[in-house]
Amino acid sequence: MELIAVGPAQTRPGVQMHAATKGLRPYRAHAVGSLTNEQLCQLVSAIAVQRDRQAFAALFRYFAPRLKGFGLRRGVEAAAAEELVQETMLTVWRKADMFDPARATVSTWIFTIVRNKRIDMFRREGFPDADLEEAAETQSDDRPADDHLCAAEAGMAVRTAMKTLPTEQLEILQKAFFEEKSHQAIADETKLPLGTVKSRIRLALARLRAALPEGHA
């Protein structure tokens, strides 16, 4: 599978990001420069416990370019995308002690931060973030309450399984998560029937779910 390189040419100020990212085929994972979740957890822990600026800088170097790519996919200018990077990474610094490695991978945690910041900055709305942990604990039905444990393990399985998704499914997931598009909006834009959008996303999610360790599916 061909990798789509996004070079510095597309990051010049003033370049229309919409045009720059339009028509790109979905990309595949970059093997280069990837850190394990364990390494990322150590960085977050050093930030939380020792207020370690070097650890923060390392985490920044890893995530800032990804967060910028994420911002650009929504079609905003480079400057706005960098503003999003700043605000997200500041929140990472401030909330590092709230990160629980048993609950989520570092990338999942940072994804939820950038998702909320993006809504805040570009839509001027709030995001009513449900406390998933609280929900897991307050239930009084008879299932064991430990199915949220090692969510991080599940996150890593998802990451691996993502590489096996067919292109059309990967593409539609990227639209949903990066471009903040609802099922209906994707259907409108791609001119695919809503049913097709739904079934592609369902198929993709089912495939990812099948890869989850027992107890998470």
Q: Which residues in 6-65 contact other proteins (CB under 8 A)? A: 6, 8, 10-11, 27-30, 33-34, 53, 56-57, 60-61, 64-65
Is residue 118 involved in binding other proteins (CB under 8 A)?
Answer: yes
Is residue 169 involved in binding other proteins (CB under 8 A)?
Answer: no
Q: Which is nearer to other proteins, 119 or 191 (CB)?
A: 119
Q: Which is nearer to other proteins, 48 or 212 (CB)?
A: 212
# residues near other proteins by CB under 8 A: 92
Choosing from 128, 146, 191, 214, the residue that interacts with other proteins (CB under 8 A) is 128
Is residue 99 involved in binding other proteins (CB under 8 A)?
Answer: no
| Least distance CB 191 / other proteins (angstroms) | 18
Choosing from 44, 55, 73, 101, the residue that interacts with other proteins (CB under 8 A) is 73
Is residue 151 involved in binding other proteins (CB under 8 A)?
Answer: yes
If you compute the radius of gyration of the chain from its CA atoms, what whole number of angstroms results? 18
Buried b (16+ CB within 10 A) or exposed e, 64-99: bebbbbbbbbbbbbbebbbbbbebbbebbeeebeeb
Q: Which residues in 74-93 contact other proteins (CB under 8 A)? A: 81-82, 85-86, 89-90, 93
Choosing from 16, 182, 189, 193, the residue that interacts with other proteins (CB under 8 A) is 182
Q: Which is nearer to other proteins, 49 or 135 (CB)?
A: 135
